[in-house]
Structure 1
Amino acid sequence: MSTMAASAYGHMILQFPVPFGSPDNSPLQPSGADFPCKQGPNVYKINKMNELNVGSSYELNVAGGADHGGGSCQLLVTLDKEPTKASTWKKIHVIEGACPAAGKTFPFTVPPEVPNGVATFGVAWYSRQAGQPELYMNCAPITVSGSSSDASQFTQLPDAEFANIQPFSQTCKVPQNMAATFANPGKYSTRIGSGPFADVCGKGVAGEGEGAAPSAPAPLLSAPAAPPTASLAIPSAPAAPSSPTAPGGAGGVFGGDGTCSQEGAVVCNGESQFGICNHGKIVFQPVAAGTKCQNGQIAKREFRHRAQRTKIN
C-alpha cells in the first residue's frame, strides 16, 4: 500500500495538493528537528507538480481517521523550492476550528498576492486533542500562474504562526482541548464551529509571558491579540453521554459511536478511547500513546515498572 494512501486509522496526511515524497503523518518533533515539512530522506522528491491558478478555487484534502477532534489549519506558501528552517512562510488561507476533519475537504482560492512561478505549498495544523499539544505539517510543490512576477505584494500576506515546537518557543503551546486562533489570520480566513478557542500561545492559559520571541516569524508570536477570557478556560468534566452505543470499557471498539448532550464535551470510552460531542453524536477514537481518557480529560498515564519509578507529571 502506498504511504500516500492515508490509513483509516492513522493520523491525517496531505492528499491535495499532491505532497512531496512519501509524506509522514506524525506530528513535528517538539525539538523542531524535522521542521519544516517533516524533514527526512527525499523529503522534496516531486511526485507530481501541482498547477495552481490565481483566483481559482481548489479543495484542500487532508485525509485519515485520527483528526483528534479537529483543530485549526494554516494554508501556507513559501517562494523557496526546498524550504529550510530559515524560509519565510505566508498565510494564503486560514481555517480556525474543525480542521482537519476525517472525510471532509476545505475550499481555498489562490490569492493574487502569490507571484507566478515554482513555490512550495504547506499545510500546518494544530490538533485540538491529543496527549500533548501537537503541530503537524506536510508540503507540496506548486507552480502558480495567472498572477505576475512581482513578489512585492506577497510580502504583505501575514506570516505563518508556529508554536508547540522549538525554536519558536518551547513554552508557547496551544492548550489541550482548544482550537487555535491566530493573532493575524489575514483577510483570507474562515472560522468553523463554536470552539472553544484559544490563541496559538495559550495567552492567559499556558505560556503567557514566558520565553523570548523567536527570530522568525517574530511579530506574530511575540504579541498575539488576547481572545475573550471565556474562551480560554479549560472545560470541566462533561456530563456523561445520554445513550452511548459503544462499549463503555477500555476494550471498546475503535470507531464505535454514541450520543451525547453537551456540545463540545470530551467523552471517555474507557481509558483508551475518547470522542468529542458534535451535534449530539460521538465517534470514538484511540487516545495517543502514553495517555488515557479519564473524567472527560486526556491525561498522561502513570508508568510503573518492576521497581517503582517516579510518576510522569
Structure 2
Amino acid sequence: MQFITLLTTLVLGSTVTAHMELGWPYPFRDKANPNAPQAQIDYSMTSPLNADGSNFPCKGYQVDMDDSSGAGKSIVTWNAGGSYNFSLIGGATHGGGSCQIALSYDKGTSFTVIHSYIGSCPLSSGEDFQFTVPGDAPTGSSMFAWVWYNEIGNREIYMNCASVTIGSGSGAAPATKFSDRPELFIANLGNGCTTVEGKEVQFPNPGPAEDVTTKNSVADDSGSYTGTCAAVKGISGSGPAPSGGSTGESTSPATTAVAVPSTTTAADTTPAADTTPAADPTTLSTSTKTMTSTVTVQTVSPGVFATATASGTAPATTGTSPADPVATGTSGSGSAMVAGSPCSTDGMWNCVDGTSFQQCASGQWSVVQMLATGTQCTPGQSSTINISAIARRRGLGRRIPRRAPRDFRP
C-alpha cells in the first residue's frame, strides 16, 4: 500500500516550517493565480522566507513584475480611499500573531505600510481582514505585500506579494500623508533582531491609529522582539528595541484602537481543481463565525464592505461544520474545546473526532481547523498529534474548488 507523506500538509510542533499564505489577492506563482506560468508555480507558498534573507522580499517573486510573459499582470484594481479585504488560508495559524500589509511602487525596493494587525492575525483559515487604501495612495501599477510574525513556533517571517492596480479615488486626504507612513517592520532574517515566541509583535511604528487593528490575546506582550533591527536589502531598519528588551511600543498615538471584527469564513484548503471565481462569493462559505460580536455586513460593491449593524458582545457560532467548537470536552475525549476557553499547557494539541484539530496557545484554545483532505488524526489531547493518510479506493476521490475571493473583479 502506498502511503502519502504528510509533512507538506501539516508539519507540527517545534519543527513547523509553514502553514499560512495569502489567499486573496492571488500572490505571484500561486496555483490559483491565472497569470502564473505552470512551470513556475510554487506549491509551498506557506513556507517562510529563508532565514538568511536571501529570498526577501516576496520570496524573490517580485521579479515577475518585469516578466514579459505576463506573470506579473495585475490581479485586481483597488481605488484610493476604498475599503477592501485580503484573506489568509492554510493549515495552522500557530496561535495567530501580528501582520502588516504594504504597497510597493518600485517593484519591491521599498514598502509603505497601509495597515497593521497587532494580535490574533490570523486565527483561522479563510479569515478575511479589512483595510482601506489610503486616499492619497499613488495610482497605477503596485505590489501588495502581506507579512506575518507567528506567535507560536519557530521564529520566522512569512511574506507573500501580489500584483495590483491602484485606481483614482475621491474624498478628503488622510491626516497622515502616504509619504509619511512607516516602512515594514523586518525581523528574524539575521538582521540583528528576533521576535519572541509566545508574544504578539508590537510593531514599533504601526502607522496612523485609524489603520491599526489591535486584538491582543496575550496578557503580557512586553518584550515581543529583542535586538536592533537593521535594514535588509535596504528595506526597513527599525532600530533597537526599547530598553529592557520590551516590544517597542508604538510611537504613533492611540495605537490600541480596536476595530470591530468582520465575519470570517472557514474555507477548504485543498488545491483547486477550478479557480474560476463564483458569481456570488457570499454563497461559498461552509461555516461562519463571529469572533467577538455579531456583525451584519452589507456588500456595497464587489470588494467594498460597509458595516451596517453590530449587535451583542458574546461570541456566537453558526453552522454545523466540524470547524465549529461544539463542546468543552476533556483530555482524551476527542471533543472540541470552546475557542478562547482556558487551557493549561501551551502547545498541547487536540484532535477532534479524527477530522480536525486545535491547539493551546497563550493559555487559550484556538478555533478548530479542518485537517487536509485525505488525512486523519488520533482523537484526544496530546503534546504531539498523530496524522495519517486515509486509505481510499481508486476513483472515489474528488477535488474541491478553492474559495473564490470576496473582492474579485472580472
TM-score by length of 2: 0.51
Q: Does 2:191 correspond to 1:191?
A: no
Is the 1:175–1:198 Cα contact (8 Å) retained in structure 2?
A: no
Deviation at 1:13, TM superposition (A): 1.2
Q: How many angstroms does 1:99 deviate by?
A: 0.6
Report what 1:275 is aligned to. 360
**Counterpart in 2 of 1:133?**
155
Alignment of 1:153-232 (within 5 A): 153-166=177-190, 169=191, 171-187=192-208, 188-195=211-218, 196-198=220-222, 202-203=225-226, 208=227, 216-217=234-235, 219-220=237-238, 222-225=239-242
Q: Partner residue of 2:59?
A: 38
Deviation at 1:21, TM superposition (A): 1.9
Q: What residue is the counterpart of 1:51 in the other structure?
A: 77
Q: Distance in 2 between matches of 1:18 and 1:282?
A: 25
Q: Which amino acid letter does the alignment assign opposite residue 108 of structure 1?
A: F
In 2, the alpha carbon distance for the partners of 1:156 and 1:231 equals 19
Q: CA deviation at 1:258?
A: 3.0
Other structure's SS at 2:201 match:
strand
Change (3 A) 1:110 1:265: farther
Post-superposition offset of 1:265: 6.1
> Contact 1:18–1:48 at 8 Å: present in 2 too?
no
- Aligned match of 1:144: 166
AA paired with 1:67? Answer: T
TM-aligned CA distance change 1:189 to 1:225, over 3 Å? farther
Shift of 1:154: 3.0
CA distance in 1, matches of 2:169, 2:136: 8
SS at match of 1:179: coil
1:107 to 2:130 alignment: yes
Aligned pairs, how many? 250
One-letter identity of the residue aligned with 2:72: I
Summarize the alignment of residues 85-124 of structure 1 with structure 2, pairs less than 5 Å apart: 87-102=109-124, 103-124=126-147
**Contact 2:53/2:232 (<8 A) preserved:** no
- Residues 194/223 of structure 1: CA separation in 2 closer, same or farther (3 Å cut): same
**What is the CA distance between 1:198 and its match in structure 2?**
4.4
Between 1:67-76 and 1:260-269, the stretch displaced more is: 260-269
* C-alpha contact 1:21 1:46 (8 A) present in aligned 2: no
- C-alpha distance after superposition, 1:37-80 (max 9, x if no partner): 11259855236521001111111201112111101010011112
2:86 to 60, 65, 78: 60
- Other-structure match for 2:28: 20
1:240 matched residue in structure 2: none
How far the C-alpha of 1:231 sits from its partner, in A, is 11
* CA distance in structure 2 between the partners assigned to 1:215 and 1:33 by the alignment: 9
> Which residue pairs with 1:309 in the alignment?
none
**Corresponding residue number in structure 1 for 2:100:** 74
SS of the residue 2:59 aligns to: coil
2-side partners of 1:94 and 1:227: how far apart?
A: 24
Conservation of the 8 A alpha-carbon contact between 1:74 and 1:95: yes
In 2, distance between residues paired with 1:51 and 1:264?
46
1:150-177 deviation per Cα after TM superposition (whole angstroms, max 9, x unaligned): xx943211111100013xx1x4111011
Residue 265 to residue 160, structure 1, CA distance change in 2 (3 Å): farther
Instruction: Report if aligned partners of 2:101, 2:114 keep a CA contact under 8 Å in 1.
Output: yes
1:25 deviation in Å?
1.2
Shift of 1:279: 6.1
Hey, what's the Cα distance between the residues in 2 that align with 1:51 and 1:68? 31
1:254-273 alignment runs, 5 A limit: 257-258=336-337, 262=342, 266-269=346-349
**Cα separation, partners in 2 of 1:135 and 1:218, compared to 1, 3 Å:** closer
Cα deviation digits, residues 182-216 of structure 1 (max 9, x gap)? 1110111110133242466x23xxxx36x866673
| Unmatched segments (≥5 aa) in structure 2 | 1-7, 12-17, 31-41, 66-70, 171-175, 250-327, 351-357, 372-381, 385-410
Structure 1 residue 275: Cα displacement: 2.5
Distance 2:62 2:142 in 1: 20
Identity of aligned residues (%): 28
Q: Is residue 114–residue 147 contact of structure 1 (8 Å, CA) maintained in 2?
A: no
